[in-house]
Amino acid sequence: MPPKPRITRDMILEAAYAIALEEGAENINARTISQRLGCSTQPVLYHFAHIEDIRREVYRMADEYHSRCLMNLDNAQNPMLSIGLNYIRFAAKEKHLFRLLFQSDGFAGQSIASLVDAPELMPVLTILQQEAGLTLAQTKLVFKALCLLVHGYASMLANNTMGFDETEAVPMLEMAFMGMIGAVKMEEVHE
């Protein structure tokens, strides 16, 4: 009889990620992972003392995937519009991962301002700053407003059985983008 395949740490994480993707991260536990791998819970508990350790790794994996999706700007004429649409597309396509990343209290204790100041966001802010011709402070104001608008749209799609119509979303995002830039520049004139 051939030996049973050895269950590795990576296999456990891949199984947990698949569960998060298909069923939601709240369904990650030793039993569901072992069922997916066709083994007992012993290998899962051997590699990970706590299920929360697995969930943290799955969150990290989902965050990396989300970042790649967000920054897929191939041939984008309007990079900020593309980033906003990519965020909404992600929510529509990967509902469970979106909820894991943005609706699971992963930002506990932080403010919107602290999120905008995160070093990981600098590439997005740089694109917006260059595209809009704003100062960094103005860019952060516009980004906060855009973020809230885009997140609201994405949340509606992630939490409901709704269709996503890009032809409806694009003009709305363009109008919001241009309006926010205009408002920030107008405020500068009045100061």
The pTM for the full model equals: 0.86
| Per-residue model confidence as pLDDT tens digits over 123-150 | 889 988 988 889 999 999 998 989 889 9
| Per-residue model confidence as pLDDT tens digits over 19-44 | 999 999 999 999 999 999 999 999 99
4 pLDDT band, cuts 50/70/90, is: low
Q: What is the mean pLDDT of the chain?
A: 90
Cα 17 from Cα 33, distance rounded (Å): 10
Residue 115 burial by Cβ neighbours in a 10 Å radius (0-12, 13-18, 19+): middle
pLDDT above 70 as % of the chain = 95
Residue 1 tokens, joined:
């009889």
